[in-house]
Amino acid sequence: MSEDLSGRRIAHYRIDGVLGRGGMSVTYKATDVRLGRKVALKVIGEHLAPDAEFRERFVDEARNTSAIDHANIVPLYDFDEVDGLLYIAMRLVDGQDLSGHIKEGPLTPARTLTLLAQVAEALDMLHGKGLVHLDVKPANVLVTTKEGVREHVYVADFGLTRRGATGHRTRTGDFLGSPTYAAPEHLRGEPVDGRTDQYALACMLFACLSGRPPFQGGVQEVIQGHLGQTVPPLSQLVALPPAIDDVIRKGTSKEPSQRYANCAELIAAARVALAGVAQGSAPTQLGPASGSIPVQSPVSGPTPVQQGPYQGGFGQQPLADPVRLRPPNQVGVSAFTASKKERPVWFAPVIAAAAAIVVIIIVVIILSPGDEPARQPKTNSSPTLQLDDESTSKKPLPTSVPVRTSR
């Protein structure tokens, strides 16, 4: 875990406190003493400062963020290195991330469309510049009411953003990031583009309207869900028209070519599907799971820039180290262990029985007695008696003498 720099000063920034901790960095609330304004200061984790690969990624985040000028993307103020620590100074957003709002329960269709339409606009602009965010999730969408009458959205955290390439990997081939909203091609390390972010946006649409991500369970279960399972029908979880199921199904198609042309088109289709729904109230949860739908903590993730206590998605706990996941195998095979041919059920008992037989044979050989000494040959003939002349003259010679032999 990185040291808490609260109370210290980095360059002309006085660090006032921790906003949140992510896999690669710690975000602080700080004051720019030259201008007297509050900022969000993102500092690379001290345990990663010597790591050339993560330093390169941190620099890429600064460059990508500075190259983007959009009302729905957090503005970057400054970037530098002091005493071996890289930092990025950004606007301090007064509000809460979208995951904190979803944690309270499903959002109304009207609010969902208002917020995600802004996210779609920012992503489409990003894609128009040849960039792919690759970490679109509720925890990276900051919601504030300070910009005007309506809620304003900022898309944050461009630490994984890449210019049209393959799915995000470290040099050792590991997947770095959160699989909770990740597209199949991203998880497999295949080519990615704007439709990869659109998949994540469709999953966010599902989460906003249901109060939970589309796939739940352990990391392996979530990954296998994205790789080979269809997103559950939303209309079976909450009281919404079946038309929304078709929208989400297309947006989360396993084949990128079958998705919408862009993110704005996805939201437009959702608006049509939800046109007949009462926009002012949250959809009612259905079935026996109503009110008790399990909530999954997403795995990983860099921390969003926000003011106030960290409200990571769905009760997310801050991570001390970057989350490195081995590239998943094909569906049906564990995503974190090498594929092995399964042995028949009878294999282990047969091996155990054979081993027991061998042990018994060895014990019998060890405990067997040595060779017995050779016995004298037996004879069935009677012994010959030697008699002197005197005895012969006094007693008659018996015709036979019984002899008892030992058995």
What's the one-letter identity of residue 80? Answer: D
What's the one-letter identity of residue 193? Answer: D
Q: What gap in Å lies between CA 243 and CA 399, rounded to an integer?
A: 126
Nearest of 317, 310, 318, 322 to residue 97 by alpha carbon = 310
Residue 135 known to be catalytic: yes
Residues flagged as binding site: 42
The active-site residue, picked from 4, 32, 69, 135, is: 135
Q: Answer whether 186's CB lies under 8 Å from 178's CB.
A: no
Q: Which two tokens stand for residue 86?
A: 């890289």
Residues flagged as binding site for ATP: 42
Q: What gap in Å lies between CA 403 and CA 407, rounded to an integer?
A: 12
Output Rg (C-alpha) for the chain, integer angstroms: 39
The angle formed by the CA atoms of residues 70, 71 and 75, to the nearest 5 degrees, is 70
Q: What gap in Å lies between CA 27 and CA 24, rounded to an integer?
A: 10
Active-site residue list: 135
